[in-house]
Amino acid sequence: MLLTITFFSFVAASLGMLVYGLRSRTGMLQYPFLMGMVFVCYLLYQAVGMFLHRDSIPTGPFTESLLMLTLCCLGCMVGYRFRPIRFIRPVARYKPQRLLYAGLILIIIAWFGYYKLTSLTGGILSFFSTEGGHSSFNWSGLPVRYNFFVAMVYPGLTLCLVAYQLRPGRGAFLICAFGMILPFAYVVLMGRRNITAWLGLTLLLHLYWSRRYVPPRTFIAVFLFLGLLAIYVGPEYRRHSQLGADHSQILDISVKEKLYQALDPDKIELKNGVYVVAAFSESGNYGYGSLFYDQLVINFVPRQIFGDKLRSSLMLEDGYDFIDRQTVKTMHYYRPGNEFMSGYAELYSQFSYLGCLYFVLLGVIFKTLWIGSTTYSSPTCRILYMNLITIAMATVAFSPSIAVAKTLMLLMIIIPILWWAKRDVSEWTTYNEIHYAGCIEDTGSEPCF
């Protein structure tokens, strides 16, 4: 009985986030709807499969997991209902040309990283091929270093898009198009789901902030369905989309079969989270944030530079090894090495049910960034929103601790650029404000930041 109650509570809470977002014209671009989309398409779909086969999994841990998931969904909506963090005006304005140059430099760095990465596979095109391509890498050492530089294309492109919003021009347009080549190649040739979500959402946000265009609600339904397909069909698509593969096999992919397989209890990744919740609920040996600290050490003290010994001495609980050891010791369950445990389970392993407050905090942050991006047309908020929203979405399915480390690293890159591109106060009265596209809202009552 309790299992049924918690299951339908999770159904109502996750679907409620979508309904909450659809109330307004721009709701599909905001935090509750976007997080709800991941909860529904990824975790709720798997929860349905586990509920249909509930005899094959411990009932108590599954009930606790559903309760934690419900609290996380409610945390997203509650956090977004809080008042945004108060702005202190006047906030810095920026020189669009400097933002554009900084974005272009990051994009060039990304291409250099891509060139060095592909040199390990024999050439630029071979990286996307089935023979000796990216799948042949042992992702440690040089590939990890070069891939770090490849990731500079994402903040670089967002800087260029915001610069184009402030001062539209042919040169800025061409630079933005140049910045989209690498992400587009990853989407089409490798079927990368997280990059697909980032690129699609970034372009939708750009269209709204520059043209005030929002797709109709029918598009939202299609977007949701495609998101569900991408999660479960993406890996099969990747097998046939690379250079040298038989592309005709893409049309032969059985979508129905893949969706049915996702309901198989033996193949559901949500099961990893259920056993993690069970292990820490029984032992009570919570991490109390040690995993977040360990991820900071892993990301900011690379073993390629400082060595394993120093990095291990700085860590508190050996990262995920602590969670896996606890799960094996308590539940005798081994998590597959290539699978995550989902964000809710990771938070539970650190703070029990109080881990849902993580999503409350995210709600406050993204409410503030959204208000700053739309009501005040703040370039700072727009750049941060485009870069951070997909990281927040990934925490639902993957790892909040990794997301925090990525966010800090991203801020270390973006903040110096914004400081360099900032205009002096003395320039504000002489600068041609017409270049600030969309600085005044439709009401005309609020100035831009």
CB contact at 8 A, 38 and 397: yes
Largest CA distance in the chain: 71
Q: Is the peptide bond before 90 cis (omega within 30 degrees of 0)?
A: yes
Per-residue pLDDT, 140 = 66
Phi/psi of residue 218, nearest 5 degrees:
-65, -30
Rounded-to-integer distance, Cα 268 and Cα 15, Å: 20
Please list the rounded mean pLDDT of every run of 10 residues in the chain (449 residues).
Answer: 91 92 86 92 89 85 93 94 71 83 95 86 70 62 82 94 92 93 87 85 91 80 71 73 70 74 77 90 89 90 79 82 86 80 91 94 94 88 93 90 93 93 57 39 34
pLDDT given at position 7: 93
Residue 370: CB atoms within 10 A of its CB come to 20
In this prediction, residue 246 carries a pLDDT of: 67
Rounded CA gap, 386 and 201, in Å? 8
Question: Which residue type is seen at 307?
Answer: G
Count CB neighbours of 419 within 10 A: 10
Cα–Cα distance for residue pair 377/446, rounded to 1 Å: 9
DSSP 3-state of 243? strand
**Where along the chain do its domains lie?**
84-449
Q: What is the rounded CA–CA span in Å between residue 448 and residue 378?
A: 6
DSSP 443: T
pTM of the model as a whole: 0.87
